[in-house]
A and B are shown apart, each in its own frame.
Chain A
Amino acid sequence: MCLAIPGQIVELASGGHLATVEVSKVRRTINIDLLEPPAAPGEWVLIHVGFAMSRISAEEAAEQLRLLAMLGEDAQAMAELDGYRFDEPLGRRPS
C-alpha cells in the first residue's frame, strides 16, 4: 500500500482526471488530479494506490524500479499496477 511505483505518462484521457502510464511495457490508467501543474505526456511520476503523487526524473524512475527489485517488491508493484480497474467501462469485469 505504501509502494511507490514509477510510471511514464504516455497519454492524457479526454475527460480529465486520468492518464495512461507505462511501466516496464505494462500500460495502465491512473488518476492525475494530485499533480499541479497538470501532467504532460513524457513525464515520469510516482504512483501510490492508483494516484500520481509526485513528479520524478527518468533517472529517479529507473532507480526506483531497481530499488523495488532489490526490496523484492517489484512483482508486487507490477501486480498492483496491473490490478487497477477503475478506468474500464462499467460491467466489463462482472464479478
Chain B
Amino acid sequence: MKFVDEFRDPRLIRQASEEIRRLADPSRHYRVMEVCGGHTHAIYRFALADLLPPNIELVHGPGCPVCVLPMGRIDDGLSLVDRHGVIFTTFGDVMRVPGRRGSPLEHQARGAEIRMVYSPLDALKLAREHPDRQVVFFAIGFETTAPSTALTVKRARELAVTNFSVFSNHVTILPAIRAILDSPDMRLDAFIGPGHVSTVIGARPYAFIARDYRKPVVIAGFEPLDLLQSIVMILRQLQSGRAEIENQYNRTVPWDGNLPALRALADVFELRPYFEWRGLGFISQSALRLRPDYAPWDAEARFGVPGIQVTDPKAAQCGEVLKGVLKPHQCKLFARECTPELPVGALMVSSEGACAAYFNYVHRRSAATAG
C-alpha cells in the first residue's frame, strides 16, 4: 500500500478498500473488466490491485485506441504518403505504432512528410497553409475524439478546403463490449465503464449489458477513490443479485451524453458494416467512416487504399492480452523482444496499453527492488 499516503484522502481510500473486503464473498472469484485504457493506466500507476482482496481480478479491456488498431491500417495510412505524396498527420500516440515497414516516426526519419498534431484542427490548418499539397489526418479514437474529427470535417466543408481529408479509424466501444460478452471464453462478472467516452455517449447506451447479459456496469472517474468506489458499487449489485447501469462519475457524465457531440457524429459519420480489431477480429457495425455527403474529405474515398492485412508476429500474444486471457507478463515477448523503447505490439506503445502500464509500474518496480 505504498501509494496510499499520496492519495488525496487516504482515510477514504482505506475505508473503500475495507468495504470491498467486507463485501467480497471469499468463496467466489470476481472478474471485473475495466473497459478504458485510461483506467488501466491509473490502476497500475496507483497499484490498486494491492488494495483489493486476491479474489477480485481486474481484466484489462479494449479501450485503448492504438492497441486495437490492426497493423494493416497503419500501412494503409502510410501508403498514402508513398503512393500519393500526401502530408500525413496524426496524434503522438500513433507515431510510434509499428507498421509492417516501420512506424510513422520511422517513416519520418526516412524523410517522409509526417507531422504530429495535437488536434485535428491543427491538421486542417496545415492544409490551409499548404494549398498545393494534400493533407491527410489519420484519425483514431473512440467517441471521445470522434466528435472533434467530425467538427473538423464540417469546418473544412464550410471553408471549402479541398486539400484536406480524413483517414478514419474511429471505433465505437459498445460493439466491442458486446463481442467480448458473446465470446465463448467470456467469464466476466461486471464492467467498470469508461469515463470520458461516456461524457459523449452518456450512460443510457450501456443498458443492454444489464438487460440482456445480466452484468452490472458502473461508469467511473479516474481517481483511485473513484475506481475503488466503483468496485464497491459493483460488489453491492452482485451481492444483491442486481444488474444495473450506475454512474459513479455523475459529476461529468450526463445520462444522455453530450448532444452537440452526438449530433456532429451522426451528421458526419456512418457505421461501417464491419471493421477489424486487433485481438478481437472483425466486429460488425463497430467503426465509423465518413458519410457519402462528405466523400471529398474522406481519404479512403479520395485516394483508395490497398486494404493491407497483416498477421501479427506469431510470438506476440497481443490478442490474448487484449481479451484478458493472458496478463501482460505472461506473453513470451514481454520485456524481452517487446519493451516501451522498442515495442513489437501496440499494447506496449501507449501509456493506456496494458503492457506499457504493466512494464512501467510493475516490471520496473520489481526490477528496481530486485536490484
A binding-site residues for B, Cβ under 8 Å: 1-2, 4, 17, 31, 33-36, 46, 48-51, 53-54, 56-57, 60, 63, 66-67, 70-73, 80-81, 83-86, 88, 90-91, 93-95
A94 to B91, CA, bound (A): 20
Which A residues touch B351, using CB under 8 A?
Answer: 71, 73
Contact A33 B151 (CB under 8 A): yes
A31 to B148, CA, bound (A): 9
Which A residues touch B151, using CB under 8 A?
Answer: 31, 33-34, 51
Task: Indicate whether B352 reaches chain A with its CB closer than 8 angstroms.
Answer: yes
Task: Indicate whether B77 reaches chain A with its CB closer than 8 angstroms.
Answer: no
The digit string for B216-233, where 1 denotes a CB below 8 A from any CB of A, is 000000110000000000
B260 touches which of A34, A56, A57, A94 (Cβ 8 Å) = A34
Beta-carbon contacts under 8 Å, B95-134 to A: 115, 117-122, 124-126, 128-129
B118 touches which of A66, A70, A84 (Cβ 8 Å) = A84
Contact A51 B252 (CB under 8 A): no
A46 to B144, CA, bound (A): 11
A1 touches which of B115, B124, B140, B222 (Cβ 8 Å) = B140
A48 to B65, CA, bound (A): 14
Beta-carbon contacts under 8 Å, B312-344 to A: none
Tell which of B36-44, B174-182, B362-370 binds the partner: B36-44
B148 touches which of A17, A35, A49, A81 (Cβ 8 Å) = A49
Contact A85 B125 (CB under 8 A): yes
Which A residues touch B128, using CB under 8 A?
Answer: 90
Describe B's contact surface by its main secondary structure: helix
Greatest chain B CB density within 10 A among A17, A51, A60, A67 is at: A51
B46 → A minimal CB distance (Å): 8
Contact B129 A86 (CB under 8 A): no
A72 to B356, CA, bound (A): 14
Which A residues touch B196, using CB under 8 A?
Answer: 2, 4, 46, 48, 53
B147 touches which of A1, A36, A51, A83 (Cβ 8 Å) = A51
Q: A34-B258, A85-B118 are in contact. List 7 more A-B contacts (CB 8 A).
A: A1-B93, A49-B119, A50-B120, A53-B147, A83-B122, A84-B119, A86-B124
Task: Indicate whether B141 reaches chain A with its CB closer than 8 angstroms.
Answer: yes
A17 to B117, CA, bound (A): 20
B351 → A minimal CB distance (Å): 7
A2 to B148, CA, bound (A): 12
Contacts A48-B196, A70-B6, A72-B45 given; does A2 touch B145 at CB 8 Å: yes
Task: Indicate whether B199 reaches chain A with its CB closer than 8 angstroms.
Answer: yes
Beta-carbon contacts under 8 Å, B177-225 to A: 196, 199-200, 222-223
B250 → A minimal CB distance (Å): 11
A34 → B minimal CB distance (Å): 5
Which B residues touch A33, using CB under 8 A?
Answer: 151, 260, 264
Which B residues touch A90, using CB under 8 A?
Answer: 125, 128-129
A66 to B351, CA, bound (A): 18
Which A residues touch B223, using CB under 8 A?
Answer: 63, 67
A36 to B259, CA, bound (A): 8
Contact B45 A53 (CB under 8 A): no
Contact A51 B260 (CB under 8 A): no
Which A residue's beta carbon lies closest to that of B149?
A: A49
Which A residue's beta carbon lies closest to that of B196?
A: A4
Contact B145 A94 (CB under 8 A): no
A50 to B125, CA, bound (A): 13
Task: Indicate whether B261 reaches chain A with its CB closer than 8 angstroms.
Answer: yes
19 contacts between A and B (CB under 8 A): A1-B92, A1-B141, A2-B38, A31-B148, A34-B151, A34-B264, A49-B91, A49-B118, A53-B144, A53-B199, A53-B261, A54-B199, A57-B251, A70-B45, A83-B118, A85-B125, A86-B124, A88-B125, A91-B129
B222 → A minimal CB distance (Å): 6
